[in-house]
Amino acid sequence: MKRTKVIDALKCTTYGSDICVKGWVRSKRGSKGIFFIALNDGSTIKNIQIVGEDSNFHEETIKRITTGACIAVSGTLVESPAAGQASEIQAKDIEILGDCDNTYPLQKKGASWEYLRTVAHLRPRTNTFGAILRIRHNMAMAIHTYFHEHGYFYFHTPLITASDCEGAGNMFQVTTKNLYDLKKDEQGKIIYDDDFFGEQTSLTVSGQLEGELGATALGAIYTFGPTFRAENSNTPRHLAEFWMIEPEVAFLDQEELMDLEEDFIKYCVRWALDNCKDDLEFLNKMIDKTLIERLEGVLKDTFVRLPYTQGINILQEAVKNGKKFEFPCEWGDDLASEHERYLVEEYFKKPVIMTDYPRSFKSFYMKQNAATADGGSVGYKGATAPGPTMQGTDVLFPSIGEIIGGSVREESYDKLMAEVKRRDMDMTHLWWYLDTRKYGSCPHAGFGLGFERLILFVTGMQNIRDVIPFPRTPKNAEF
């Protein structure tokens, strides 16, 4: 008999018909010669109940139906008398496809997140991680659908690169060299002429710079792929390997970029609410009782657009009124997560797009705001800053802090080169990037969204290691 997925079996109302389901046993109990099995195949958060009489099955078969075992059940679909489920299956035949003994690591209820990370090869079978992974799939579908419907082209940027997306993070090196016998020059520097690519190469920290090349040819592109950052960070918000979405768009100004950021993130949240109802309700009940309310709030509110300088003024006023922050918040400081969350969760109580950051901690490729007579600059909607500012547009979210980092890119070759020289940057491996400013340069802008941070927000989870199947973090590359 052809297999029916549990999600379809639960919707089926052709009672009295024969049906076959296959999956993993979540639980089994028995009473007065009748056994009840909760079966799940990953297609839905919900289990289907299997009911059978002990007398109809071999005793050894019933013993082998343990938590975690994989079974195939053929039987009759009937209307369920139990509350909370419309259908169940009266079993006629049960085949054990995969035994599971009492060493199964998911036997215990209420296992900690830390423990579940040690059994990452099995944790997708739990209710919570099944829900997270189904939502993760749906968010990926939302992203591709949004950009396709808006005329963007999916652009594949390299994972192995000889250049650094300056300031984006430390890089993992890629080599075929024998690390025990490295050839070096007189200054002690490694010679790469016998390496696979003939030069030093690394795993990418961002596809942005190559994405800009696509935008200046195709008009609007997006990347969606893995990125790698060799940062020795053990926070709940950082991974060494994660996925990034990076649209780049020609002829886009700062205000249009913020419109894009807000529209895109709302589309993704709306998709989750429309397509992940059962999983979100489960997570709302078990993980974060304000999850669905918070998601719906994002759709209702217009994001605040806040120049950095005004944000600093708000934070400093809060300090005067007794608010304590661990990190300083003077003009020129890169805001910490605590500052971002204060603005979003306590002051405005809605998402914020912060703009016009100081040049001192932003990347060289960002467009600089117009200077004022006193040496400052005028940014978004005329906000005056005491120093040079860049047209950055970072989206700050409740519970997360920064979820999107974006900017208008500098299209002028002369201005870009002036910034490169001011920072004393070596552009040897970025000659091709500078070329785009010499041959038909155009205004353009874009942003980067860490996929896992989006999943954190949509699921209500607190640690980024729990929204990716196999987290890569310092001292951990298992599975």
Question: Rounded distance, CA 419 to CA 244, Å?
Answer: 26
* Residue 203 · residue 160 · CB < 8 Å: yes
pLDDT (0 to 100) of residue 169: 66
Whole-angstrom CA distances from 265 to 32, 245, 258, 278, 447 are: 53, 11, 11, 21, 12
Which tens digit of pLDDT belongs to each residue from 78-99? 999 877 788 999 999 999 999 9
Question: Rounded distance, CA 444 to CA 254, Å?
Answer: 9
List alpha helices for 287-373, DSSP H.
Answer: 291-300, 308-320, 337-341
- Within 10 A of 124 (CB to CB), how many other CB atoms are there? 14
Whole-angstrom CA distances from 5 to 44, 46, 127, 363, 417 are: 9, 12, 17, 50, 59
Strand partners, 406: 447
Q: What is the pTM of this model?
A: 0.94
Model confidence at 166, pLDDT cuts 50, 70, 90, reads: low
Q: Is the pLDDT of residue 234 over 90?
A: no
Model confidence at 168, pLDDT cuts 50, 70, 90, reads: low
Domain boundaries of the chain, sorted by first residue:
6-98, 127-170+205-466
Q: Is the pLDDT of residue 57 over 70?
A: yes
Give me the sheet containing 173-174, strands edge to edge: 160-161, 201-203, 173-174
Work out the average pLDDT over 35-60: 96
Which tens digit of pLDDT belongs to each residue from 314-324? 999 999 999 99
Q: Which of 101-105, 166-170, 327-331, 336-340 is predicted least confidently?
A: 166-170
- How is residue 422 annotated by DSSP? H
Q: Which residues contact 119 (CB under 8 A, 6 or more apart)?
A: 105, 106
Q: Which residues contact 328 (CB under 8 A, 6 or more apart)?
A: none
Work out the average pLDDT over 263-268: 98
Q: Is the pLDDT of residue 38 over 90?
A: yes
Question: Rounded distance, CA 321 to CA 135, Å?
Answer: 41
Work out the average pLDDT over 14-42: 96
Classify domain 6-98 by CATH architecture: Beta Barrel (2.40)
CATH of domain 127-170+205-466: 3.30.930.10
Q: Is the pLDDT of residue 217 over 90?
A: yes
DSSP string, 136-164: HHHHHHHHHHHHHHTT-EE----SEESS-
Q: Is the pLDDT of residue 167 over 80?
A: no
Reading phi first (left if > 0) and then psi (alpha if -120 to 50, else beta), residue 399 is in: left
List alpha helices for 150-275, DSSP H.
Answer: 208-218, 254-275
List alpha helices for 48-175, DSSP H.
Answer: 59-64, 113-118, 127-149
Whole-angstrom CA distances from 6 to 40, 44, 47, 78 are: 7, 7, 7, 14
* Residue 341 · residue 360 · CB < 8 Å: no
225 burial type by CB count under 10 A (0-12 exposed, 13-18 middle, 19+ buried)? middle
* Residue 17 · residue 75 · CB < 8 Å: no
Which tens digit of pLDDT belongs to each residue from 395-422? 999 888 899 999 999 999 999 999 999 9
Q: Which of 16-25, 177-186, 242-251 is predicted least confidently?
A: 177-186
Instruction: Please name the residue that has the structure tokens 């049906």.
Output: 19
Model confidence at 374, pLDDT cuts 50, 70, 90, reads: confident
Work out the average pLDDT over 446-473: 97
Strand partners, 228: 241
pLDDT (0 to 100) of residue 83: 79
